[in-house]
Amino acid sequence: MEFDLEKLKKRPSYPFETIAVAVAFSPRLEGVVGEAWRLSKVFGAKLLLMHIGDRTRNKEDKLNNLLEKLKVDEQQVRIIWNEGNAVDTLLQLCKLHVVDLLVLGALRKENMLNFYLGSLARNISRRAKCSVLLLTEPDPAGTRYKKIMVSGVENPKTIHTINTAIYFAEHVKAKEITVATEVHHPGLAMTAGDNTAPEASKMKKEMKEEELNKVHEMVESCRKHGDIEICEKVIQGKPGYAIRQYATSKKADLLVINSPEGKLGIFDRIFTHDMEYILEDLPCNVLIVHSRVTTE
């Protein structure tokens, strides 16, 4: 299987011109395909249905019946059947077809064995060279994205991630985005302990204001966002863990985060990497934005 990497280099993370969905014949097949079909129409994108495994008459009939039920225009989709290692083959197909967004169904929380060995959705999330949308509760009619949250971590990728979130919000008619940055200063409590209460309070306030200014500068440098209101928030806690908890408490419909800097390995899961806090217990649907502009 050959593909031209030059087609991927410097390609921006949006617009979504080609959307792919991993087809697994599970009870959630209808929801995942329905979500992907709706998004392809919303973004005006080509839709690829990819199944890694045996191609049987029973599977073909089941998929064709589903497409008919969902009123999918067969002229607007392409079905790809392939065999091989599920993760490696999906990743190769995404490169070959220059996929911008890969849609996957994902359990909110998997048992410890699956998490450490790596489920298909989580393995792809760590290795994909395109953006990945993890759907925790796929709806055949499509999810209504009202509350979108973006991780405002200090990183060159983050502006691309915020811009992609704005692009996503514009197309799904969301009106509000919250950009939240996490502040974790383990030594702050010890430092504050050597000061009076007013001094400690002042110190915390100044640090929060400094972080808010950084977030504000990032948002100001992003693309215009029209009628979408962007809120800026600073939250305390470990990166990944804090925003996961915040997204849960605010009942977010979508959490948008940067892709990892490189391939995450077993040690990133044992000595928890910030993205791993999110993958181990998904708070909601998660969009992992891969910024080829800054990484390749």
Domain of residue 248, CATH code: 3.40.50.620
CB-based contact 240:276 (threshold 8 Å): yes
Using DSSP's 3-state secondary structure scheme, residue 284 falls into coil
Share of the chain above pLDDT 90, in %: 59
Question: Domain tally for the chain?
Answer: 2
Is the pLDDT reported for residue 262 higher than 80? no
Is the pLDDT reported for residue 117 higher than 60? no
Q: What's the pLDDT score for residue 121?
A: 84
| One domain for residues 109 and 204 | no
Q: What's the pLDDT score for residue 256?
A: 97
Q: Where in the sequence is the domain holding 78, given as residue range(s)?
A: 1-140
| One domain for residues 27 and 111 | yes
Q: 89-105: string of b/e by CB count within 10 Å (b at 16+)?
A: bbbbbbbebebbbbbbb
| One domain for residues 75 and 124 | yes
Give domain status of residue 291, yes or no: no
Give domain status of residue 221, yes or no: yes
Average pLDDT score over residue span 3-25: 83
Give domain status of residue 286, yes or no: no
| One domain for residues 167 and 74 | no
Give domain status of residue 96, yes or no: yes
d(CA 178, CA 288): 16
pTM over 0.75? The answer is: yes
Of 79, 96, 90, the closest CA to residue 125 belongs to 90
| One domain for residues 165 and 106 | no
Placement of tokens 């929060």 in the chain: 208
d(CA 67, CA 46): 15
Share of the chain above pLDDT 70, in %: 84
| One domain for residues 235 and 206 | yes
Average pLDDT score over residue span 218-230: 89
| One domain for residues 15 and 131 | yes
Is the pLDDT reported for residue 271 higher than 50? no
Give domain status of residue 283, yes or no: no
| One domain for residues 136 and 2 | yes
Q: What's the pLDDT score for residue 184?
A: 76
> Among 132-136, 181-185, 187-191, which stretch is predicted with the lowest mean pLDDT?
187-191
| One domain for residues 105 and 227 | no
Looking at per-residue confidence, does 77 or 106 come out higher?
A: 77
CB-based contact 215:181 (threshold 8 Å): yes
Task: Categorize the per-residue pLDDT at 202 as very low, low, confident or very high, splitting at 50, 70 and 90.
Answer: confident
| One domain for residues 222 and 199 | yes
Is the pLDDT reported for residue 269 higher than 50? no
Is the pLDDT reported for residue 88 higher than 50? yes
Q: What's the pLDDT score for residue 188?
A: 53
Looking at per-residue confidence, does 6 or 288 come out higher?
A: 288
Task: Categorize the per-residue pLDDT at 122 as very low, low, confident or very high, splitting at 50, 70 and 90.
Answer: confident
| One domain for residues 2 and 132 | yes
Give domain status of residue 37, yes or no: yes
Q: Please give the full DSSP string across 99-139, using - where no structure is assigned.
A: -SEEEEE--SS--HHHHHH--HHHHHHHH-SSEEEEESS--
pLDDT, averaged across the chain? 85
| One domain for residues 36 and 134 | yes
